[in-house]
Structures are given as structure tokens and as C-alpha cells.
């Protein structure tokens, strides 16, 4: 089975991503998750993995943000919405899509670190792929104002900077 990888504008390609989000995270499932009720940012870019029979089988969202770490401005690359169709898992699609997303962030040259948030059950998936838990505090914007974000655990991928502790302010909504 051959696959194709595309990286598209996030807003323009939302319609292609939406069925996968709805299949994996319908509202009644989201309601049971630790991040129910969180308002997330929209992806700036989206990685799509397609197979020749079923079309989109995997998605990863890419975000870019000027954040602060202990008050210093840094350039973060965000990863979110990592999703593989249930019947297409275990074929390396999410690994390929994550690699494509990280390559995009690396190629830009100015990204200091990449960051994602995940539920505890998915942490081993990311640590096995070079991500490290970030042990400091995260602040984000929500409709209620600036809050400390603890719903899901931050993980970092080292690019130009190796962050492990301290305070990161995402200066916007989480991803």
C-alpha cells in the first residue's frame, strides 16, 4: 500500500481533517477526556497521511508561537491533534506524520523547541519517539483569562533549546 504525505494550510484543510476528528473524538467521547471544555488554538499547518484506498488516515496539526520561558521570548513549535483512523493504527502512520511535522519545524531553523500535550496513556508513545516530559508550569489563555494549564501533560522535543523546568507561557490558547 503506498501512502502520500501532504502538509497543508491549517484553516483551508480543516474540512479534510474534520471527519477524522469527529470519528475519534465525537462530543460524547470528548466529554469523558481530561481536556473536555478546554478551548484549543487552530492548527496553522496540517500533516495528512493518505492511503490510496481510504484517503486521509492520519493527521498531525502544527502550531508556531512566540512563547515565554521564565519571561524570555522563545519560538515554540506546537504539535497537536495526532490522530490515526482506528482501523489503520500500528502501521507507523502517526510516527511518519510526527516526523514530517518536526522536520517542518526544524527546517524553519528558528524554532527553539517543540511541545505537545498528552494524556498519561499516550505518554509512552511520545517518549519512545524522543519526547521528554516538561516538569515546569504552563500558562495559557482561555475565555476565562490566563490560567495554569494542567489538564494534559506537556512534553518537549529538543531543537535549539533543551527545556525541562521553569514556567512557559504559551501567550495564547493551548494546542
Ligand X SMILES: CC(C)(COP(=O)(O)OP(=O)(O)OC[C@H]1O[C@@H](n2cnc3c(N)ncnc32)[C@H](O)[C@@H]1OP(=O)(O)O)[C@@H](O)C(=O)NCCC(=O)NCCS
Which residues are near ligand X by CB under 6 A?
A: 24, 58, 82-84, 89-95, 118, 121-122, 124-125
Nearer to ligand X, 109 or 120 (CB): 120
Minimum separation from the CB atom of position 33 to ligand X (A): 9
Residue closer to ligand X, measured from CB, 14 or 68? 14
Q: Least distance (Å) from ligand X to the CB of residue 134?
A: 14
Tell me whether residue 26 or residue 72 sits nearer to ligand X (CB atom).
26
At its nearest, how many Å lie between ligand X and the CB of residue 125?
A: 4
3-state secondary structure the chain: CCEEEEEEECCCCHHHHHHHHHHHCCHHHHCCCCCCCCCCCCCCEEEEEEECCCEEEEEEEEEEEEEEECCEEEEEEEEEEEEECHHHCCCCHHHHHHHHHHHHHHHCCCCCEEEEEECHHHHHHHHCCCCEECCCEEEEEECCEEEECCCCEEEEEECCCCCCCCEEECCCCCC
Minimum distance between the CB of residue 120 and ligand X, rounded to whole angstroms? 9
Amino acid at each position: 500500500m503506498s501512502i502520500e504525505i501532504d502538509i497543508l494550510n491549517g484553516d483551508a484543510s480543516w474540512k479534510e481533517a474534520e471527519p477524522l476528528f469527529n470519528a475519534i473524538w465525537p462530543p460524547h467521547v470528548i466529554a469523558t477526556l481530561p481536556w473536555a471544555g478546554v478551548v484549543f488554538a487552530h492548527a496553522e499547518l496540517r500533516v495528512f497521511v493518505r492511503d490510496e484506498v481510504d484517503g486521509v488516515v492520519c493527521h498531525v496539526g502544527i502550531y508556531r508561537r512566540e512563547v515565554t520561558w521564565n519571561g524570555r521570548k522563545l519560538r515554540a513549535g506546537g504539535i497537536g491533534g495526532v490522530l490515526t483512523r482506528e482501523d489503520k493504527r500500528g502501521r507507523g502512520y502517526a510516527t511518519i506524520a510526527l516526523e514530517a511535522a518536526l522536520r517542518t519545524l526544524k527546517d524553519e531553523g528558528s524554532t527553539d523547541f517543540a511541545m505537545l500535550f498528552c494524556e498519561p496513556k499516550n505518554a509512552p508513545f511520545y517518549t519512545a519517539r524522543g519526547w521528554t516530559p516538561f516538569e515546569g508550569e504552563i500558562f495559557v489563555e482561555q475565555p476565562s483569562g490566563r490560567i495554569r494549564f494542567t489538564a494534559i501533560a506537556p512534553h518537549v522535543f529538543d531543537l535549539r533549546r533543551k527545556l525541562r523546568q521553569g514556567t512557559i507561557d504559551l501567550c495564547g490558547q493551548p494546542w
